[in-house]
A and B are shown apart, each in its own frame.
Chain A
């Protein structure tokens, strides 16, 4: 019997890539896609890298494919926006070795800045989409995606969602397929996308999609399960599981290929069921196409375009069942917060004191937007902090941003912030950019990047010097400050914000959760000196709370001894103690 293992959806995709004979994988970390790359490195047969952003990752994979090997790029939903430029055109070029782009959507917004649906982009880019519904399918569909990619000469998007990516299920392991490299042949008509060539390829792309739509009617991954025909459901991905849980007796058309759609198969299925429902999370992508063919179906009239679905929801909306559920208790919310000992808390404490506004970016430090810190005013996308600050200055003049900074993490700076900083220099900005350098990609779970000195595969490598990069752009005022030295940080920030020239302040301190950190001290309150002023409580460190008498208490299991509270106490009521 084949070996079985319980695997995360992402782990199963990595296994699928291995079994499919993939040789090159590139990605930028992004929840919920990160663990794909983290699992791919278990297979030394695959070269795997963290690229600085998703556009670069996609292009690396495209290059590998053109050279004749199977290649994969993976990213989160919004990462696809960054990678769209190469992918829209690669759809015209097609592939040599198979090319699969894994994109992880995030219905319910667990870790994203919007709730976009990859299928909409894929339709616009004319790239086929395949969608698994559990870990076992995640592995099998990954392998199939490579076959389809080569058969139809197209990049394929393997779409997942958070629930699939971060669920574990049983997977049967197979051997790796050794795929011989395809020979490379120069073919500018196909591989050089200038207008004359692209015109011809556009015709091919349309034909390819039509052919695939036709073939989709008999593809095994588009599966009809006839049962009681009073209710028929068209669904795909994780919602298929909700359908099976809520409506075990209904007839189901489960789509594995969700773009292009199998029109004949859908027409036939629709003709055999009394009432047709379309159950898809996020946008009505299947529904709108099906309805455009004159087929009667019920979809977003009773469902939502927001969040995740559930079996209970389907029971209520399709079957009209009144579920007798206990009401949820009204309890205080527990939003995510910066960790005890997080260097961002220290930097924001100083910014708050200086009454600065921050144009924010994507990372743990986005949490600086919420109380009690409330320093971050805007967050758009990766790299946007620097360019939005620049836009404000150009709109309102340099004095308008004298109480503003841009804040961006080290990994995000290297992702796309670097372009924005170049723009500031070029267009004579005077703003201050604060790079919160914690030596890692924090929010996604501590991945290396171009300035950490280590590759995804664990090799030691060159370390991009962020200070040096800023200097090389011609910025005169670049300063590195210890993130926990609040007196120095206050002095530098005050001076640089006031300056009529562009400046960069790099605050340095390793992420408190990084492996290899050693904490030798903890902060301990000295209660007879405590004046109950609350200064130490203001930054919102989760380790510090109040005793009933109003003096403070520091949870010793949480404290890492960063000393921010100690610096804020004017009465010497907090001391550091060695452990």
Chain B
């Protein structure tokens, strides 16, 4: 099997690390060679962050090269646009349809681009959802990324039970139930 390349992009503090660790968990359990590359430190303070997940029989470099991502998971619209060129021509992009203004927009130095989803949809296979609104319906804004994982699960080859099992292992004990519910929401939205 060819190595699969996944990218998770977002804004520092949105929980990309937990998401990548859930992906790392499920691919490792399935017996693949797995490499993940994360961002720690300064960028975690509200900067643009990117995490790479690669799995296959034997993985060499831990990063995904431009034009090589099979699946790009974006936790924020502008970040989807920023990293879109990493996607393969037939790759899939899952976007949390949320806008977080970067400081450059807040201070008026730059403008937040309009029509991002439409623009990307014209070029790539895009699935977008307002996961934050869905998470708030569940009563916990923090689980929006688990909803996104549920959506992404529809584009990966692991069973629902395997996902729920890994989520149970990786999220804080107190939040297992709500995270499982969030996964179900995303999983059903992605059908």
Give the 5 A-B residue pairs with the shortest CB-CB distance, closest first. A31-B41, A111-B41, A332-B110, A336-B47, A334-B102
With A242-B61, A326-B67, A334-B102 given, is the CB distance from A371 to B107 under 8 Å? Answer: yes
Looking at the assembled complex, report how far the CB atom of A550 sits from the nearest CB atom of chain B, in whole angstroms: 13
Is A155's CB within 8 Å of the partner chain B? no
In contact, A31 and B81 (Cβ under 8 angstroms): no
* A326 and B120 alpha carbons, distance in the complex (Å): 13
In contact, A326 and B63 (Cβ under 8 angstroms): no
Looking at the assembled complex, report how far the CB atom of A362 sits from the nearest CB atom of chain B, in whole angstroms: 10
In contact, B37 and A166 (Cβ under 8 angstroms): yes
> Could you mark each residue 73-116 of chain B with 1 if its beta carbon is under 8 Å from any beta carbon of chain A, else 0?
00000110110110000000000000011111111011111000
* A241 and B79 alpha carbons, distance in the complex (Å): 27
CB < 8 Å neighbour of A339 from B43, B45, B65, B107: B45
A residues less than 8 Å from B107 (CB atoms) = 371-372, 540
Looking at the assembled complex, report how far the CB atom of A175 sits from the nearest CB atom of chain B, in whole angstroms: 22
Is B121's CB within 8 Å of the partner chain A? no
Q: How many residues of A contact B (CB 8 A)?
A: 53
List 18 additional A-B contacts (Cβ < 8 Å) besides A241-B62, A323-B66.
A110-B39, A111-B41, A111-B43, A167-B35, A167-B36, A310-B65, A311-B60, A312-B65, A312-B66, A326-B84, A328-B85, A331-B82, A331-B113, A332-B110, A336-B43, A445-B44, A544-B106, A557-B141
With A166-B38, A542-B100 given, is the CB distance from A332 to B112 under 8 Å? Answer: yes
Looking at the assembled complex, report how far the CB atom of B11 sits from the nearest CB atom of chain A, in whole angstroms: 7
* A167 and B52 alpha carbons, distance in the complex (Å): 9
Task: Report which residue of B35, B59, B62 has the largest number of chain A beta carbons within 10 angstroms of its beta carbon.
Answer: B62
Is B188's CB within 8 Å of the partner chain A? no
* A372 and B101 alpha carbons, distance in the complex (Å): 14
- 20 residue pairs from A and B, CB less than 8 Å apart: A110-B39, A134-B62, A163-B63, A168-B34, A169-B59, A169-B62, A170-B28, A238-B62, A245-B60, A310-B61, A312-B65, A323-B67, A328-B82, A331-B78, A332-B104, A333-B102, A336-B42, A537-B106, A540-B106, A544-B106
Task: Report which residue of A238, A242, A337, A545 has the largest number of chain B beta carbons within 10 angstroms of its beta carbon.
Answer: A337
Is B186's CB within 8 Å of the partner chain A? no
Is B33's CB within 8 Å of the partner chain A? yes
Looking at the assembled complex, report how far the CB atom of A545 sits from the nearest CB atom of chain B, in whole angstroms: 6
Looking at the assembled complex, report how far the CB atom of A512 sits from the nearest CB atom of chain B, in whole angstroms: 11
A residues less than 8 Å from B47 (CB atoms) = 334-337
CB < 8 Å neighbour of B45 from A35, A336, A371, A557: A336
A residues less than 8 Å from B24 (CB atoms) = 6, 168
With CB as the reference atom, state the residue of chain A lying closest to B135.
A557
Is A244's CB within 8 Å of the partner chain B? yes
Is A443's CB within 8 Å of the partner chain B? yes
Q: Which of B1-45 contact A (CB under 8 A)?
A: 11-13, 24-25, 28, 33-45
> Could you mark each residue 531-548 of chain A with 1 if its beta carbon is under 8 Å from any beta carbon of chain B, else 0?
000000100101011000
B residues less than 8 Å from A110 (CB atoms) = 39, 41-43
In contact, B106 and A329 (Cβ under 8 angstroms): no
Is B154's CB within 8 Å of the partner chain A? no
